[in-house]
Structure 1
C-alpha cells in the first residue's frame, strides 16, 4: 500500500480507507440480497392485505350510507 499510495499521490492511510470502503460497498449488496427479498415479500403481502381491507371498508361504508338514505326516506 505504501508504494502504491506514493505513486498515486495520496497517503497510505487514505488508500487503506478507500480500500476498506470499496470492500464494504462490494460486499454489502450481496449480504443484504436475501434479507431484502424476504422483506419485499413481507411488504407485498402486507400491501395485498391492506388493499383487501380497504375494499371491505369501502363496500361497508357504501352499504351503511345506502341504508341510512333508505331509512331517512321511510320517516
Structure 2
C-alpha cells in the first residue's frame, strides 16, 4: 500500500483539479501550487486522464497509450505471471528432488 504519510484525495477533487488545468490554460505546476497539492500528483492524474480520453477517441493519434483500466489489468496480469513462474520453479525443484530420491 502507500506510506502512512501519503495523502488520499477524493476522485471528485482529482476530476475538478484536472478540469481546472484544462480550463485555466495554466501549467500543472501553477495549478497544483494554487490548490496546495504536489505538482507530481496532479501531473500523474492529468496524464492518466489524458490516457483515458485517448481511449474514447482511440485512433491513429494515440497509438501505444494505455488507459488506467488497461494499466491496472496489465499490472495485475504481470503480478499473476510472476507468481505462476515462481510456482513452476518450485515444482521443477520438487520434481528433481523426488526423482533423485526414487533412484536411491
CA RMSD, 1 decimal: 2.0
Query: Could you list the runs of 5+ residues in structure 1 that have no partner in the other structure?
Result: 1-18, 67-75
Q: Equivalences for 1:14-29 in 2 at 5 Å? A: 20-23=59-62, 25=63, 28-29=65-66
Q: 1:49 aligns with which of 79, 84, 87?
A: 87
State how many pairs are aligned. 46
State the 4+ residue runs in structure 1 displaced beyond 4 angstroms: none
Q: TM-score, normalised by structure 2?
A: 0.39
Decide which structure has the larger Cα Rg and report it: 1
Q: TM-score, normalised by structure 1?
A: 0.52
Unpaired runs of 5+ residues, structure 2, are 1-57
